[in-house]
Amino acid sequence: MLKTALQPRWIAGLILALAISTVFVLLSEWQFSSAENEGAPPAATTEEVRPLTEVFTPGEPLFATQADQMVTFTGSFQPEDQVLVQNRLQDGEEGYWVVTAFAVDGAPGDTLIPVVRGWTEDPSNAGTAPEGDVEITGRLLPPEAPVAGPQPEGTVAALSSAELANIWDEPLYSAFVTAHETQAAGQQDSANELETVVTGPQPQEKSVNWLNIFYAVEWFVFAGFAVFLWWRLLADSYQRSLEDEDDDYEDEYDDDDDDETGREQPPGPTSSEVEK
């Protein structure tokens, strides 16, 4: 069989099979790498405070690599654009997030971003946002999905940028910020009666896409099948060559039954002639 395998056409076939298998293995590796969805960035990266305008651009979706980042920005609140987000827990107590629109200095198109100014158990204690120039330091987070259904006036069930853009009739970032520090006119806002909503970094977990795992295994099987197909064709060719050699041997053996003159031997007497 080795002699057959060393024939040029079978060597070329092996090279082709190996090339195809290599492509399939690379596709399998790509599927394996895609099966693990990219999680939150390392905490060492997210805890470094960066300017909001450098981290995220309005009008674009917030990706996992951008979310959870500690950011800082300056600008001014728009006190008339304020809502309360229901059913928010703080130290085991249920209350409201106080969210106010914030005009970010340097943001394209005068885009606003919702800022969680703090938490309160009593909605009457929401107060109003400070006026004038303000510097915010907080965590950038993705928006929530809107919740359908009627809500009391001035409240919403979820912090959805799309919903708030309709309520406030203003262009918004597709994200929001929980304010950890609020400084107004160079002084920390001590008049704020709200409790600060401090959000920690997201857990470093990654989800697995099992469909990608299945595709990866499938490509690996295809890679093995390409080499197996070459071996199967080689084995069939080798078997046919053995059968051809057997046929040639039988033809040569039949020729040995002829007489030395090259003529066939006359047939012997029949059984009836022997009896006579």
User: Could you tell me the residue ranges of all domains in the chain?
Assistant: 7-33+209-240, 43-188
Whether the pLDDT of residue 86 is over 90: the answer is yes
Which residues touch 82 (CB under 8 Å, ≥6 apart)? 98, 99, 100, 101, 126, 128, 129, 154
Whether the pLDDT of residue 192 is over 70: the answer is no
Most trustworthy range by pLDDT among 6-15, 140-149, 231-240: 140-149
Residue at token pair 């106010």: 100
Q: Can you give the pLDDT at residue 190?
A: 41
Q: Is the dihedral of CA 116, 120, 126, 127 positive or negative?
A: negative
Token couple for 80:
């008339």
pTM score, whole prediction? 0.60
Q: Can you give the pLDDT at residue 149?
A: 82
Whether the pLDDT of residue 259 is over 80: the answer is no
Whether the pLDDT of residue 250 is over 70: the answer is no
Confidence of residue 235 (pLDDT cuts 50, 70, 90): confident
CA proximity to 142, closest of 95, 54, 202:
202
Q: Which tops the pLDDT comparison, 100 or 24?
A: 100
Whether the pLDDT of residue 17 is over 50: the answer is yes
